[in-house]
Structure 1
């Protein structure tokens, strides 16, 4: 990660970072099964910015990003995407979404290329892949180090490789914004390093990124801002906290249980 451009350097060299946000949640509330999960959160991501959404299990992190893409309805507040109210937003090819790691094929027999190609459909006409679409799919696979597995069935892949395929599927649409829900969870160190390198390239090209994370890990050098949720409320919105102790070790996996009512964490890790 030694060649990573510093956050200060990115801010100085990329125009428009402080302009209108590409994602803006204002006073957003949401429920799951009549249970309040988000209690009026404000969250913004500006162009070219990398924002980490942190918090304990059940704090509302995943629900927050799912409201952005419309998977969870909001009960109050507003969401704007590229300055357009989400309910009127139609240009979804500009946003790439990587869900929490799951079987990339969704249980349907498919090759790696077939899964990644599905991410390109938003930019096709009538679902037909042209030469440029196939090139974008190949490029996405190469960026996540899966070019040599293009013809393999996804069921033959490891967990880390599944995650790479899901990220390649999002990259295939050449999005301006990447939204990723715990991309490092349960992923081996080598895949973590590949994913960090992939994101570094995306950020260098001007993409905006919203990440749900348990801890910053190898992505820490890329993070501009951290937003910490607690019980559906924003506890902190500012500079990313530093990892210390065991959490700072390479390959540390955040698997220990969270307390029901965590105290504000001064190291930035909600344990």
Structure 2
């Protein structure tokens, strides 16, 4: 499912964040949102997920106005991983992942709900955590659990806000490989990332946010050069080529 954003503006109170943004996110691609802290990356993701109200503009997923979708329709269409998640109750990991099936459950979880929960746990590689209380896990382990929860939803679009935070190198590589698998199967994935080198190595489409404005670049255009990165982040860098992908090194 593709995503269309047209003439979108958003403010927190009197503080503008996004200004007349128009953007098309292609179906079945890995799109990465990049920009400085506070530039509006997480806000854009929340708006696409239907979690923030907006007055100016239009957002549609697969042609459906996000504001007209019910909670269940959104949950079956969109899987969203927040930047922060504060646990309250000591549910087991399995139960936390099972909550991803909420839009399908009308009474007690059924056989399919249990199967999809089990598949998500296996796919993310957290079988060893299945019976442990979620509140006792490390930050990285919790992040993996929440990713499994998203997969249990069976969404068509996955929105990830800083999915690599708290993860060690091994789990970062595993998650990025999983994202590529999901995209290869036809899912649309959009993620906020902080490391441009990881974005360049794994992403297909790049959404650059600066001063409330957006610029979209495609990997096939070979767009990355030092001036693009310096303009986005405000630091001097040198751009190198590695395996047909760009790498940037701060100077």
Q: CA deviation at 1:34?
A: 2.0
Cα distance between partner residues in 1 of 2:83 and 2:114: 26
- Determine which of 195, 204, 209 is the counterpart of 2:184: 204
- TM-score w.r.t. length of structure 1: 0.78
- Determine which of 75, 81, 88 is the counterpart of 1:107: 88
Contact 1:24 1:79 in 2 (8 A): yes
Contact 2:238 2:249 in 1 (8 A): no
Aligned counterpart, 2:244: none
- TM-score w.r.t. length of structure 2: 0.84
In the alignment, structure 1 segments of 5+ residues that lack a partner are 1-20, 245-257
Q: 1:235 to 1:219 in 2, by over 3 A?
A: closer
Q: More strand per residue: 1 or 2?
A: 2
Q: Which range is displaced more, 167-176 or 152-161?
A: 152-161
Aligned pairs, number: 235
- Are 2:221 and 1:238 equivalent residues in the alignment? no
Map of 1:69-218 to 2, 5 A cutoff? 69-90=49-70, 91-92=73-74, 93-103=76-86, 106-124=87-105, 126-218=106-198
Map of 1:12-27 to 2, 5 A cutoff? 22-27=2-7
Contact 2:5 2:24 in 1 (8 A): yes
Alpha-carbon displacement from aligned partner over 1:78-130 (angstroms, at most 9, x marks no partner): 10111011111232212111111434xx2222110111111111122x14211
Q: 1:213 to 1:108 in 2, by over 3 A?
A: same
Cα distance between partner residues in 2 of 1:127 and 1:115: 17
SS at match of 2:79: strand
Cα distance between partner residues in 1 of 2:52 and 2:204: 26
Alpha-carbon displacement from aligned partner over 1:212-259 (angstroms, at most 9, x marks no partner): 111245454431110100011114433376599xxxxxxxxxxxxx99
Q: 1:119 to 1:55 in 2, by over 3 A?
A: same
Q: Which range is displaced more, 46-55 or 196-205?
A: 196-205
Root mean square deviation of aligned Cα:
2.8
Cα distance between partner residues in 2 of 1:236 and 1:265: 21
